[in-house]
Structures are given as structure tokens and as C-alpha cells.
Amino acid sequence: MIQMKSKTCLGCFYPLPQPFLDLGEMPLANAFFRPEQAGQKEEPFHLAVAYCPNCHLVQLTDLVPPEKLFGEYLYFSSYSDAFLAHAKAMAQSLTERFQLGPESRVIEIASNDGYLLQYFQQRGIPVLGVEPAKNIAAVAESRGIPTLNRFFGPDVVRGIQEGFGPADLVIGNNVLAHVPTVNEFLQAVGPCLKQTGTAVFEFPYVKELLDRTEFDTIYHEHVFYYSLTAMRILAQRAGLELHDVTRQPVHGGSLRVFLQHKGMSAVSSNVTDLLAEEKAAGLTGLDRYTAFSRDVAVLRDDLVHLLRDLKAAGKRLAAYGAAAKGSTLLNYCGIGPETLDFVVDRSPYKQGRYMPGERLPIHAPERLLEVMPDYVLLLAWNFADEIMAQQQAYYRKGGKFIIPVPKPKIV
Ligand SMILES: [Zn+2]
């Protein structure tokens, strides 16, 4: 096993205490198996989370090398309607807020298949994507979105400054959680911004993770689980000022933070209010995290018992959403082929493959109507409304869904 154990905090280098949550040995959550790999054994990787009492940063204790994680990344953003709608609304809101036009420059870090930048480009705003996954960068290019196939960091700054120019807006959606060298990463953001420019980052909010027991959003790719408190300290260290924050409903509840060069804007009361809320909610002390860990154990027992009882009553079960979080949930709870017959997912890149670890086959969603399992465990619960709307026919024929978080419930 080639995992690096962090003895000190990845943000401030303070000695890291014992993990508050240990999920044990897990396969990589996005390593969907092809049929011809069926005989191969998967490498197990330790998955545990610790809280830094010095800078409040919640982080994995064991890191997996990025080339193992992102070589062939199968998450194509454009396959979810809800996510595309969110991207479109984000582009519109930021274009208006910063009055962007053909003279402006927009850079997106981890731009995926160009799902977000396309909406800026449609408005005539020059864009540049930075995307490390080779196959996904190629898809973006083929759709006409200029894309640098690199990891963002100090090495690409000069190329961006000279080739594209400093930007009015740098966006990073769901990327800050993935980068272990977060100080270097954030230090590289400033030089890519005009003096008046703004960097906007969106990431899952640790308070939602705790309050809604969303433990399945923990997997090896997500190194960090941010509070605003921790994010602000990191930004300061990188010479940036966090001057505004909004809450977003995506991915089980996210934060959108606005960073600028120091002294460019007054700090919004949104920031001071949320910092106070976090303190009141215990996010700046270990106890809240320890309580979460107890909630996770209860959720696992409840879910396993529910599924076992249904199975014992002769019911047939399947799952929806071959998402990374589904892999964490199934593997941590030990739910496999003895309980679920198969998983369905809309992405053709995942169909015909198998879930990591528990090795459930992945089919197209049409399979639900063909086979009519009695219950469908919703692994992609963050898209529950969208999925249940698409599966009206299954629902009308008597099918039922099980939503696993924050507490297992049948709908
Ligand atoms: Zn720290």
C-alpha cells in the first residue's frame, strides 16, 4: 500500500491528533471495474478523518497519490441535469455580479468537460479551463472549450499569465477538497488574478456533513472538509482575503466563498455571521466531530437492519447512482451482492462496469422498469428530486426508494 500518513496538519503543520472517524480499509471510490478486470484484486486504502485543533481544518490522515486517483476520472459533470442547471445559474450570477464581458477573462480550475465555462463562452467571454484528467480535457477541447491539461499549481502560473493573461474571475468548483498541497495551490491563485479580480471557490460544507450525517461524501479524493473558519485561515496564509460567502444547495450543501487581493473590498457581514454560527455549533472543537462519528455508526446499523429485514421478507433490492459516495456507503456498511441485485446509473461510461469493492454490476436506469425491484437504495441522494422525477414510471408501478441519509427512510 502506497499511502502517505500525515503526522501533521496539511494546512498549518501542527501535530495531528487521532482520527475522530475511521472508516477502515476501502477501495478507491471512483475505480469502477471493467468486466475483464473481474479477477484482479483491488488495492485497499485506509480512510480516516482527523480535526486540527490549531487551524480547525478537517482532513484525511492517509493520502493516495493523485496519479492513482485521477488517471481516468469517470465523473462527467454534464450527465446531471441538476448540476448543469446549477452551473448555468452560477455563470449568470457571477457575470452580473462582476459585470463580465468580451474584455474580461474567466479561468476555471478543474474545469471537467467544460460544463460551466460553456455558459460564459456563450456570452462572448474568453475562457480557459485547467483540467488534469486527460480524457476529460480532451472532451472539453472537442467541445470548443480551450483547456490546459495540467494540475493547477505554481507550475502553471507563468503559462497562464503569458498565454491567457490574469483573470477577472477564477473559479474552482469542488476542487479545493481534492488538493493535498492546498497552501501551494492557493498561493498560485493570486498571480492568476487581476488586481481587481476575484476567485470564487465552491466546496461541500463540513457543517452539512456533520448535521446530516453525510459520511458517504468522505472518500480518498476528498482530502479536506471545510468550515468557513478553516477556509479563511488558509486564504489569509496565501495572501488572499475572504470577503464574502453564500450557501449553495448542491452536493448536500456547499459554501461559495469569494477571495480577493488584500484590502480590495470590505468584509461582508455574511462572513462574520457564519463564523459566529460555526463557533456556536461547536465546529471549532473536537467534541462536535466525535459526536458525528457516533451518528455514523448508528446510521450504518439502521440501514443494514432495514435492508436485511426487507431481504428476509423476500423483497428484491437494487440501487441508483454509481457515485463515489455510493462506494463509500456500500463498502463501509458491507452491503453487496447478497443484498442488492445491481446498480443503475445514467452515465454510459459507468454502465457495464462494476462498483468498487462490493462489485455490483452497473446498468442503465431502464433496467429498473424491466426488472421492477421492490426497493431502490438511492446512493446519489444529492440528486434525489431529479432521479425520482425521472423514475415516475417505476414509482407508479409500485416501486419504492430508500434514502440513506441523514436517516434511512423509505419514500
Ligand atoms: Zn492545522
Helix, coil or strand: residue 177: helix
CA of 299 to the centre of ligand 1 (A): 29
DSSP state of 205: B
CA of 58 to the centre of ligand 1 (A): 8
CA of 231 to the centre of ligand 1 (A): 11
CA of 15 to the centre of ligand 1 (A): 8
Distance, in Å, from the CA atom of 27 to the CA atom of 220, rounded to the nearest integer, reads: 9
CA of 284 to the centre of ligand 1 (A): 12
Q: Rounded to the nearest 5°, which phi and psi values hold at 382?
A: -70, -15
CA of 14 to the centre of ligand 1 (A): 5
Per CATH, domain 288-410 is 3.40.50.300: no
CA of 51 to the centre of ligand 1 (A): 8
CA of 204 to the centre of ligand 1 (A): 19
341-375, pLDDT tens digit by residue?
999 999 888 999 999 988 899 999 999 999 999 99
Average pLDDT over residues 126-152: 94
What is the reported pLDDT for 132?
87
Q: What angle do CA 65, 55, 176 make, to 5 degrees?
A: 40
CA of 336 to the centre of ligand 1 (A): 37
Whether 288-410 and 77-265 are alike in CATH topology: the answer is: yes
The single residue listed with the C-alpha cell 443503475 is 344
What is the reported pLDDT for 33?
83
Domain boundaries, the chain: 4-62, 77-265, 288-410
- Categorize the per-residue pLDDT at 72 as very low, low, confident or very high, splitting at 50, 70 and 90: low
Give residue 35's identity as a one-letter amino acid code: P
Higher pLDDT, 225 or 2: 225
Strands 375-378 and 362-363: unpaired
Architecture of domain 77-265: 3-Layer(aba) Sandwich (3.40)
CA of 13 to the centre of ligand 1 (A): 6
Kindly tell me the sign of the dihedral angle through the C-alpha atoms of 8, 14, 17, 22.
negative
What is the reported pLDDT for 73?
58
10-51, pLDDT tens digit by residue?
999 999 999 999 999 999 887 888 888 877 888 889 999 999
- Categorize the per-residue pLDDT at 401 as very low, low, confident or very high, splitting at 50, 70 and 90: very high
What is the reported pLDDT for 133?
84
CA of 9 to the centre of ligand 1 (A): 5
CA of 233 to the centre of ligand 1 (A): 9
What is the reported pLDDT for 249?
84
8 A C-beta contact, residue 124 and residue 91: no
- Categorize the per-residue pLDDT at 381 as very low, low, confident or very high, splitting at 50, 70 and 90: very high
What is the reported pLDDT for 383?
87
CA of 59 to the centre of ligand 1 (A): 9
pLDDT at 74 over 60: no
Distance, in Å, from the CA atom of 299 to the CA atom of 295, rounded to the nearest integer, reads: 6
What is the reported pLDDT for 370?
96
CA of 277 to the centre of ligand 1 (A): 20
- Categorize the per-residue pLDDT at 306 as very low, low, confident or very high, splitting at 50, 70 and 90: very high
CA of 52 to the centre of ligand 1 (A): 5
CA of 107 to the centre of ligand 1 (A): 29
What is the reported pLDDT for 35?
84
What is the reported pLDDT for 235?
98
8 A C-beta contact, residue 185 and residue 153: yes
Give residue 397's identity as a one-letter amino acid code: K
CA of 23 to the centre of ligand 1 (A): 22
What is the reported pLDDT for 70?
64
CA of 391 to the centre of ligand 1 (A): 44
For the chain, give the percent of residues with pLDDT over 70: 97
CA of 56 to the centre of ligand 1 (A): 6
What is the reported pLDDT for 36?
84
CA of 221 to the centre of ligand 1 (A): 19
76-100, pLDDT tens digit by residue?
555 677 788 999 999 999 999 999 9
CA of 159 to the centre of ligand 1 (A): 31
CA of 6 to the centre of ligand 1 (A): 11
Name the average pLDDT for the chain. Answer: 93
DSSP state of 50: E
What is the reported pLDDT for 79?
62
pLDDT at 263 over 60: yes
Average pLDDT over residues 110-124: 95
Greatest Cα-to-Cα distance within the chain, rounded to the nearest angstrom: 66
Strands 240-248 and 254-261: antiparallel
Helix, coil or strand: residue 171: strand
What is the reported pLDDT for 387?
92
DSSP for 370-406 reads: HH--SEEEES-GGGHHHHHHHTHHHHHTT-EEEE-SS
